[in-house]
Structure 1
Amino acid sequence: MIPLSGPDITQREKDLVMEVLDSGILGLGPKMKQFEQMMAEYVGVKHAISCNSGTSGLHMLIAAMGIGEGDEVITTSFSFVASANCILFERAVPVFVDIDEKTYNLDVTQIEAKITPKTKAILPVHVFGQPANMDEIRALAKKHNLWVIEDSCEAIGGEWNGERVGGLGDAGVFAFYPNKQMTTGEGGIIVTNNDEIAELCHSIRNQGRGEDGLWLSHVRLGYNFRMDELSAALGVAQLERIDEILAKRDAVAKMYSEKLKDVAEVILPHVEDNVKMSWFVYVIRFAEDVDRDLVMERLSKRGVGCRPYFTPIHLQPFYVERFGYKRGDFPVTERVADKTLAIPFFNNLTEAQVDEVVAAIKEEIANAKEPAAL
């Protein structure tokens, strides 16, 4: 079995976790503060507020920005469902925009047509670790007085024109689930230069407690979105190694790109010239005459981990039922999503494993041509 993903844990991570266990301080302790300071410095922002997931981080930002019932937030359907759900949590409405067929990010040329008097924010997702066109997004936001929330959950270390993502909008969020570039087990972090947003998020994640720190004093509606000390310890160790981690993933991506470049039925990931890609997953796209689902089924039977990335949010049963979406509403998103497949990708994937995956893909493509193409 070659899994789809896997964390990269060394003795350093184990040592810091044991340090926390030995300290007896398992929550709201020094490791959380250390991790937050390190992350703020890494991204180049004033504030970092850790939390228990990237989803929670996005939810807190929607709440902290005062986005509520009936408000609209422009975002993408080609993403994990949390980037739209976070809007619904506050009874606002996600407004989807189709994607660019090369980068799979928001098509910035379609954003302005979706802006209405109810629009409060633009929420771009740096899909698969490729930064979205932040110049155009920030210009539109400035023109229409909108917030910009960066969903950077898949993109730690990614850069747009030499600037690290997360710090390019009003606030951003990173996530550290075990399939991400770096992991804290479960966890996420908000980054921002906005003092008010930071203060509100500190409070919201901690049951709405005020900045005075009084334990049973609650000044607003809040949640238990805190990151624990064990997770923060993992974060410290992983962030210490982030350059090594990203380099490992870049090397694996280059191996795949080299070994798959001559496979006519495979469209390789496209990376824009002005970005630094942070490889979250390696997603290939099949030609129109290849049955992606059949390839996926056959690869899985051979023990090769794979998964469709992404199934469009607007076609998820809950969104179809609630909003009446149907196929054809976002044709580029749907065309891409029908043919994309994430293949095994993690820091310590070996060249022998890459060769095995590539050989399997080549063999199964031949068995998965659409009937009309035979």
Structure 2
Amino acid sequence: MKREVPLSLPDVGEREKEAVLSVLKSRWLSMGPVILDFEKKIADYIGVKYAVAVNSGTSGLHLIVRGLGLGEGDEVITTPFSFISSANCLLFERVRPVFADIDPQTLNIDVSQIKQKITSKTKAILPVHVFGHPADMTDILDIALKSGLNIIEDACEAIGARYNGKLAGSESDAAVFAFYPNKQITTGEGGVIVTNRKDLAGICRSMRNQGREAGAGWYEHSRLGYNYRMDEMSAALGCAQLARLSDILIKRETVAQRYTEKLRRLDGVSVPFVGPDVQVSWFVYVVRLDPEIDRDTVMRELTGRGIGCRAYFQPIHLQPFYRKAFGYKPGDFPVTEAAAVSTLALPFHNNLSEDEIDYVVTNLKEVLSKF
């Protein structure tokens, strides 16, 4: 019997509803005390001094790039296998993204390629923790230290992830987490910058609020800024979700383990790789299909059976705008391109039941048998 199994579902309960309702009953809907509470809770959780809540992960990345003073003529080394904002945030300030191909197992930036990409124009490294699996931050930190480079950590998919026991976002110049409804915790829309740098936190805090300094008048603007603020309702939802984060991560780990157990011996499928020194914060559950299998056909078949699924990601360098602007072509980053045509995200959320997992696995097996 056909069922509907959506790709993702937010996990919002009575605690979250009460928190948001409490804000709606207050005098503060924006720029109030709940934002400050959310920022403190995030900073304490990650173990950093400062957190700056914003209206999206993209906004957070943009503010860091601008806050570090990066601009035209500068270069930042990053990955072409990511959501497009991790590269677009550089172009907003006319900084050139310099791509390094990815590791075929983790799908994160291949650290061995970073050194050869460094030039006199390189100002930073921007790793992305793809799907919640931390990048090799130990080696990235070492390269950055020896080369005098900043690290901008795109941890938008990885709150709670750890490498060598250390939380993602805790050691770079600045990191960003995002809270779209399919993330581990959600604020509806929203994100947060975390950093130990007082100067950077202050600049980002000013720029998110139209360039106003703390304590300045409403029409006093010290620098170019933006309306990148998070509202109080979103922050309230975030506080309630953050209080449940440990349980949420356990739930997602359990769903991922069940998938892996059921898919491990399925011909034509490779389950997600997990490195030996990392703790994955499961954002999505993405399998790899063998090269002879047409991933797009599999997606159509699964969708027709009511199973939500999606390709993750399309190579940034092959997006039409990037090809036109920089002359990229197929073959430039072969590992990324091979991953892009073979990855398949299966339904994944906190409360996915064993019956739903079995339905997905059974139907995937039937579809793959046609190949």
Q: Tell me the TM-score normalized by structure 1.
A: 0.98
Please give the secondary structure, in 1, of the residue aligned with 2:6: coil
Amino acid at match of 1:148: I
Task: Give the counterpart of 2:129 among 126, 131, 156.
Answer: 126
Q: CA deviation at 1:340?
A: 0.4
Q: Does 1:248 align with 2:251?
A: yes
- Structure 2: which 5+ runs fail to align? none
Taking only the aligned residue pairs, the percentage that are identical comes to 58
Residue 201 of structure 1 is matched in structure 2 by 204
Q: Does 1:166 align with 2:147?
A: no
Task: Give the counterpart of 1:224 among 224, 227, 230.
Answer: 227
Counterparts of residues 1-374 of structure 1 (less than 5 Å): 1-367=4-370, 369=371
Amino acid at match of 2:73: G
Please give the secondary structure, in 1, of the residue aligned with 2:98: strand
Q: 1:287-327 CA deviation, whole Å, 9 max, x = no partner? A: 11111111011111111000100111111111111111111
Please give the secondary structure, in 2, of the residue aligned with 1:37: helix
Q: CA deviation at 1:168?
A: 1.9
Q: CA deviation at 1:211?
A: 2.2
Q: CA deviation at 1:204?
A: 0.5
Q: 1:108-163 CA deviation, whole Å, 9 max, x = no partner? A: 00001001111110000000001100111111111111100100000000001111
Please give the secondary structure, in 1, of the residue aligned with 2:52: strand
- Structure 1: which 5+ runs fail to align? 370-374
Amino acid at match of 1:137: I
Structure 1 CA distance for aligned equivalents of residues 122 and 59 of structure 2: 22
Amino acid at match of 1:317: P
Please give the secondary structure, in 1, of the residue aligned with 2:51: strand
Please give the secondary structure, in 2, of the residue aligned with 1:355: helix
Which stretch of structure 1 is more off in the superposition, 149-158 or 213-222? 213-222
Amino acid at match of 1:334: E
Q: CA deviation at 1:213?
A: 3.1
Structure 2 CA distance for aligned equivalents of residues 30 and 247 of structure 1: 30
Amino acid at match of 1:3: P
Structure 1 CA distance for aligned equivalents of residues 148 and 265 of structure 2: 47
Amino acid at match of 2:278: V
Please give the secondary structure, in 1, of the residue aligned with 2:124: strand
Structure 2 CA distance for aligned equivalents of residues 345 and 324 of structure 1: 36
Structure 2 CA distance for aligned equivalents of residues 27 and 194 of structure 1: 25
Residue 372 of structure 1 is matched in structure 2 by none
Cα-Cα RMSD: 0.7
Please give the secondary structure, in 1, of the residue aligned with 2:252: helix
Q: CA deviation at 1:264?
A: 2.0
Which stretch of structure 1 is more off in the superposition, 8-17 or 208-217? 208-217
Structure 2 CA distance for aligned equivalents of residues 318 and 195 of structure 1: 36
Runs of 4+ with deviation above 3 angstroms: none
Q: 1:232-264 CA deviation, whole Å, 9 max, x = no partner? A: 000000000000111110000000000001102
What is the aligned length? 368
